[in-house]
Amino acid sequence: MLLLLGMSLLLPPTPHQSKSLLFASVKKDSLLANVPQPRIIFIGGSNLTFGLNSQTIKDSLNINPINTAIHANLGLRFVFESSYRYIRKGDIIVVVPEYSHFYQDYNKGSEELLRTVLDVDKSNIKFLNFKQMINCAQYIRNFVFSRFKKYEYTTTTVTDSDVYGVNSFNQYGDACVHWNMDRQKFYPSDTLRLKSYNPKVMEGLKEFEEKIRQKGAILYVSYPCFQDSSFYKSKAAIKKVEEEYAKYGFLILGTPNRYMMNDSLMFNTYYHLNKKGVDYRTQLLVEDLKKALPPVKRSESDSLKTSNQQLP
């Protein structure tokens, strides 16, 4: 097994895996490194990946949006650690975790996290602590044997629709390929159990807020878009998150009920929106941001553009 692991680490990602949405992190890291200020950076799971129209945010707030979200199974701790290096003084950070994040291990491991390290960029290992590495170990067997499956080399797309592909994203980091697709059948979420609430996750979020405050950035939290029937199954667990946000003194955008979405607005999971849902959720977020944010000065280029438009 160790020999196979060593061999698999020497091999490049398979053609199939290299097309997955996990590789979108390369482009998103580039956005974080290069997009000029003023900037608003969205951090979370796929409720943001499949739930934002950043062009609307840019047009409405006159600020450059970056949607860093990819997959909830990467875990909050990893996305906090990996994005922190790019945060600059004056940045606005909006963290929107899935509710399930608060009912699992803050150091959770997953196959998606393992592949983000071993397939996408091995330097990502520096963002994992020892416990995360241990929790990822159970997925090593699947990772190793995937390197030797014929399917991984003869299939070069993730799905026929490429909804979950590396090229499913627009210039801001929003997944947009599905915007013209019909709704797909899916089941509501499992009920979140209140007794499974993990305070370590909220503590980790608070530590992240303090770290970026020291950089001169500001952090807001908000609530994920969540299918209404799934929402009602976990109302007590959701209420707990709302209470803990207030207890820890976070700057909060909106309420859980405000971001509860009618089933007709969902695409293929209880966190993923169709185009109509994306536009509706984005408009709600814009309204909440306008109430919370101080006026953002336009960049010099925007001012020049406006001046030129006013010339006779």
Q: What would the 3-class secondary structure string for 252-312 be? A: EECCCHHHEECHHHECCCCCCECHHHHHHHHHHHHHHHHHHCCCCCCCHHHHHHHHHHHCC
pLDDT of 247 above 70: yes
pTM for this structure?
A: 0.91
**CA–CA gap between residue 226 and residue 222 (Å, rounded):** 12
Report how far Cα 127 is from the mean position of its chain's Cα atoms.
Answer: 17
Backbone angles phi, psi at 154, to 5 degrees: -100, -15
Q: Provide the pLDDT confidence category of residue 158 given band limits of 50, 70 and 90.
A: low
Q: Tokens 């966190």 label which residue? A: 271
SS3 17: helix
Domain ranges within the chain, ordered by starting residue: 2-288
Q: Provide the pLDDT confidence category of residue 153 given band limits of 50, 70 and 90.
A: confident
How far from 146 is each of 93, 120, 140, 184, 300, CA to CA, in Å? 37, 15, 10, 28, 50
Report how far Cα 86 is from the mean position of its chain's Cα atoms.
Answer: 16
Closest CA to 175 of 27, 73, 284: 27
Q: What does the radius of gyration of the chain's CA atoms come to, in whole angstroms? A: 20
Task: Please write down the HEC assignment for all residues of 42-102.
Answer: EEECHHHHCCCCHHHHHHHHCCEEEECCCCHHHCHHHHHHHHHCCCCCCCEEEEECCHHHH
* Tokens read off for 61: 């707030």
| Amino acid 152: pLDDT | 80
Q: Which of 9-13, 83-87, 270-274 has the lowest mean pLDDT?
A: 9-13
Backbone angles phi, psi at 206, to 5 degrees: -65, -40
pLDDT of 310 above 80: no
Q: Provide the pLDDT confidence category of residue 14 given band limits of 50, 70 and 90.
A: confident
**Helical segments of 71-178, H only:** 76-84, 111-115, 130-136, 140-146, 151-154
Q: Provide the pLDDT confidence category of residue 305 given band limits of 50, 70 and 90.
A: very low
Q: Which fold has domain 2-288?
A: Rossmann fold (3.40.50)
